[in-house]
Structure 1
Amino acid sequence: MTVATVEIPLLDCPFPSAINPHADRMHRATIEWASRHRMLDTARLIRLDESKIGYVAAWTNPLLDPAMAQLTCDFYVWLFAVDDGYCDESPEGADPVVMTRMAAGLIRILADPDTAVPEAGRCGPALQDLRHRVAAVARPGQLDRWIAATKDYLFGIVWEASNRARGAGPSLDEYVALRPLAGGLPACFALLDVCGRYEVDAWYDEVVLRISRMAGNVIAWDNDLTSYLKEVADFGAMHNLVTVLAADRGVDPQQAVQLAVALRDAELRHLQDAEGQLTAVSTGTAQYLTALHHWISGYLRFTEMSSRYTTPGRSKGPTMNTTADAPRDPMSVMQAWADTTNDRDAKTWADCYTEDSVYEDLALGQTFRGHAELEAIATAWFDASTDLHIELGDCFAVDGRGAMPWTLSGTLTGKIPGLPDSAKIGNKFEFRGVEVLEFGEDGRIRRESGNWSLYTLLDQLGVFAG
C-alpha cells in the first residue's frame, strides 16, 4: 500500500452547516489586513488569497455581525500566517531555539501590546493589533482566557519544532494531548463568546470543558484526515493523526486512515453523549455549544471549497457526509449563490435551486425553470463576461422567504442573452439589483424574482451612445 493509493472517506457530521452572509467581504478585508501588516511574503499571501482563507471564519462563525466576524477572521488568518511562515513550510519550523525566541516575543506582546518586540518576528505587529481589538470588546475574564489559550498555541508550535529538530514524531498519547493546542483551536474557541457578544457562565464546568476538548479533537483530526495526502506530498505529515497511528499500531497508511476515522467518530459520539448530560444550561452556554457545532460542520465545508486542501493529481471533492438530515440554511444558500457566480461554476450555481424552481428576471422579461435552464443562462452570462463578479449586500431570510441585494460588475466580452447587439464589447459595467426569494423545504431557492436597472446596464454598454 502506497500513500498515492490512499483514499480518505467522507466524514460524518450530525450538525447542519451555514455560512456568514459577509463571507466575501470578510475574505477580501482579511487579505488586505494581512498584507498591510506584512506577515507573509507575496507568494504565500497570494496562495492564502487563492485558497479563500477568509472563508474558514465565515463557515465556522455564520452568525456573527460584520465587525465581530472580521475580528475573528483576522485572528484565524494570523494563525494560518504563523503556520505558513514559521512552521511546516519554513526552516525556522525545525529550529526550536528560533521558535522559542519568537514565541517569547509574541507572549510579551500578549502581556503588553504597546511594547515593540523585534524578536516576535513578522507576525508581531499583527498580534499587537489583534490584542488591542480583542481587549476593546472582551470582558476581563474573556480576555484572560484568550491570552492563555494563545500562549498554549505558541507552546504547541514550539513542541512541533522540537519534534522536527530531533526527526521523530510524537507518541499517540502525546499527540492526542497536544495536537489541538498546536492547531490553535482552544484560542479560536476562546473568541466564540467574545465575538458572539455573550458570556458562557459554565465555561469551567467539568462537562463543558470536556465538550470543548472533544470538539477540538474532532476538528483537529478532521484537519489531519482532509489534509493528509497534501501534507505527505509537501512535507511528510509528521504531525498528523494518520502518520502517528501508522507508527503506533504498525499498520499501512490506509489502515491508519480507517483507525483515525474510527477514533474521530467515537470522539464525536462521546461529545454528543456529554451534551446529553447537560440538563439545564444558560442562554450563553447554549450559544457556545451551537458555536462548537458550527465549527465542526463549518470546517468540513471549508475544506470542500478551499484549494488549501487540494492534493496534486487529485480532483477536489466533498469531505463531509452530513447525517443531520436538515435542510440547507437559506443564508448559506444565498452565499453559495454568490460564491458560485464568482467561481463561474454554473452547475453548482444551479444546485442552489430546487428541481422545480422558477426564476423570473423582471428586467429582461425572461423566465427560467429547472436546473437545465438555470445552468444554461448562468453559463451564457459567464461566457459574456469573463471577469463577472457579484457582491452581496445585507441579506435576510425569515419563514421561508428572503431578500438578496447585490452589486454585479464585469466587462462585456460576449453577448448577454436579451441585450441588443449594439452593446459594445470591452465596456465595463456595474449595477445593483435585488432578488426576492421563496425557499423550498430543503432550504434551496424554489421561486425567485430578480429586478435591476436595465437602463443602467444599457447605458454603461454604450447602447444609447450617438
Structure 2
Amino acid sequence: METQTLHIPALEFPTPSAISPLAEEVQVHTFKWAHEFRLESPEKLKRFNKGKFGWYAAREYPAANYEELCLVGDLITWLFTIDDKCDRFSSGTLEGAWLRNMLNGFIAIMEHRESAVETPLNDALINIRSRFQRLSPPFLYSLFCKEMVSYFEECLWETEMQEGEYSPSIREYLQWRPKTGFYIMFPLVSIFGKIDLPEEVYEHWLVKKIELLLNLTANLANDLHSLERERELKTKGLNLVLIYEQELGISLEEAIQQISDEYHRNLLTLEEHRASLPFWSPDINAQLDVYIDGLYIAIKAYFDWALIDTERYKSKV
C-alpha cells in the first residue's frame, strides 16, 4: 500500500538564529570524547559526526566558551545515545529489564549514588556530572540533576509503554512529554550566562509556565518534523499527531492542522505571559529577560539543527 504524502506546515520560531564560531572545533572534540568513553562501537561512531551534536551545542549557547560548549556537545551526544537505545527497543522481556536497570542506574548516578549496572555509559555520565558540578552554582546544579532524573523517569515510562504495546492518551502525553529533554538545557542558560536570579524567581508560577509552554511548543514542532519518519516505524513513539488521530477519531491531515494551530496559539500565549511577569527590581528583571531570551535561543537551536544542519527527520523512503 502506497504511503500517503503529507503536507507538513512550515513552522517559524520568533528568535533570530545564532551559532558560535567554535561549532566545528566542538564537533571534533565531541567525536573524540564519544570514542574515549566507548559510547558506540568504532564502526557506529561515524553517526555522531552525522548528528552534528557539536553544532547543536554551538547553536544553543552561542556566547558560551569552548569548555562549556564541549560539555554541552558531550551531554547531547550522550543523551541521543540513550534516546536511540530506548526509542525502538525490541519488546522482549530481557531487553526491557536491562533497559530499566540501566536507566535506574543513571538515576542513582545523578543522585550521587552508585549504579547497580556496569556499562561504559556510566563513566561518561559521571564525567558529565562532575564537569557540571565544577561549573555550576549549587542551586542550578541541583536543577540540572533534577531534570536529568526526570528525563530518565520518562524513558522508563516509554519502556513500559512499548512493552505493553499501547498508545498513550493526550493526558499522558502532556504529563510525560515535557520530561523528554528540553528542560535539561534550561539551567545551562543561567550557568553559562552567569545569571544570578533568586530562587523565588525561577520558582515563580509564571516563569514555570513560560518554561513549560516553550518545552511543549518545541515538542509540537518536533512531532510535526518527525511525523514522516514515525509513520515508517513499526513501533510508534510519543507523537501527538498520531495520538490526536487515534484518540479524537480525526484524519491525519486534521490532526496535523490541529497541532499546527496549537503551536501558533502557544507562541501568542508566550508573548502574553512575558508581558505579565511581575516586577522584582531593575537588575532582577533585566537578568530574567536575558534568561528567557536564552531559553528562546535554546529552542531556536533545535529548529536550525534539525532542519538546516542535519537531515535527522527526513523520510528514509
TM-score between both structures, scaled by the size of structure 1: 0.63
Letter in 1 for 2:138: P
Q: What does residue 208 of structure 1 align with?
A: 207
Q: CA offsets per residue over residues 137-194 of structure 1, 9 Å max, x none?
A: 111111111111110000000111111011111100110121121x212112122211
Letter in 1 for 2:205: E
Note closer, same or farther for the CA distance 1:120–1:251 as it changes in structure 2 (3 Å cut): farther
Q: CA offsets per residue over residues 41-88 of structure 1, 9 Å max, x none?
A: 34543223113232222222222122112212211221111111x212
Structure with the higher helix share, 1 or 2: 2
Note closer, same or farther for the CA distance 1:37–1:249 as it changes in structure 2 (3 Å cut): same
**Is the CA contact 1:102–1:119 (under 8 Å) kept in the aligned structure 2?**
yes
Structure with the higher strand share, 1 or 2: 1
Q: What does residue 64 of structure 2 align with?
A: 64
Q: Distance in 2 between matches of 1:74 and 1:44?
A: 16
Q: CA offsets per residue over residues 5-47 of structure 1, 9 Å max, x none?
A: 1121100222111112111111121121112111223454322
Q: Distance in 2 between matches of 1:158 and 1:309?
A: 24
Note closer, same or farther for the CA distance 1:120–1:269 as it changes in structure 2 (3 Å cut): farther
Q: Distance in 1 between matches of 2:312 and 2:229?
A: 9
Q: What does residue 289 of structure 1 align with?
A: 292
Q: Distance in 1 between matches of 2:99 and 2:187?
A: 24
Q: CA offsets per residue over residues 323-371 of structure 1, 9 Å max, x none?
A: xxxxxxxxxxxxxxxxxxxxxxxxxxxxxxxxxxxxxxxxxxxxxxxxx
Shift of 1:274: 0.6
Letter in 1 for 2:313: Y
Alignment of 1:188-267 (within 5 A): 188-201=185-198, 202-267=201-266
SS at match of 2:12: strand
Aligned residues: 309
Q: CA offsets per residue over residues 191-229 of structure 1, 9 Å max, x none?
A: 221122223331111111110111111111211111111
Q: What does residue 135 of structure 1 align with?
A: 133
**Is the CA contact 1:218–1:296 (under 8 Å) kept in the aligned structure 2?**
no
SS at match of 2:202: coil
Q: Which moved more, 1:23-32 or 1:151-160?
A: 23-32
SS at match of 1:11: coil
Shift of 1:235: 4.5
Q: Distance in 2 between matches of 1:93 and 1:62?
A: 42
**Is the CA contact 1:93–1:161 (under 8 Å) kept in the aligned structure 2?**
no
| 1:185 aligns to 2:182 (yes or no) | yes
Shift of 1:2: 7.0
Q: Distance in 1 between matches of 2:186 and 2:173?
A: 20
Higher relative contact order (CA 8 A, sep 6+): 2
Identity %: 25
Letter in 2 for 1:189: F
TM-score between both structures, scaled by the size of structure 2: 0.90
Note closer, same or farther for the CA distance 1:90–1:166 as it changes in structure 2 (3 Å cut): closer
**Is the CA contact 1:228–1:237 (under 8 Å) kept in the aligned structure 2?**
no
Shift of 1:279: 4.8
Q: Distance in 2 between matches of 1:235 and 1:81?
A: 20
Q: What does residue 311 of structure 2 align with?
A: 307
Shift of 1:272: 1.5
Q: Distance in 2 between matches of 1:154 and 1:48?
A: 21
Q: CA offsets per residue over residues 432-457 of structure 1, 9 Å max, x none?
A: xxxxxxxxxxxxxxxxxxxxxxxxxx
SS at match of 1:237: coil
Runs (5+) with no aligned partner, structure 2: none
Alignment of 1:9-408 (within 5 A): 9-84=9-84, 86-91=85-90, 96-112=96-112, 115=114, 117=115, 119=117, 121-181=119-179, 183-201=180-198, 202-280=201-279, 281-305=284-308, 306-313=310-317
Note closer, same or farther for the CA distance 1:238–1:195 as it changes in structure 2 (3 Å cut): same
Letter in 2 for 1:242: V
Q: What does residue 435 of structure 1 align with?
A: none
Across the aligned residues of Structure 1 and Structure 2, the Cα RMSD in angstroms comes to: 2.1
**Is the CA contact 2:88–2:235 (under 8 Å) kept in the aligned structure 1?**
no
Note closer, same or farther for the CA distance 1:235–1:52 as it changes in structure 2 (3 Å cut): farther
Q: Distance in 2 between matches of 1:118 and 1:33?
A: 24
Q: Distance in 2 between matches of 1:92 and 1:48?
A: 26
Shift of 1:100: 2.4
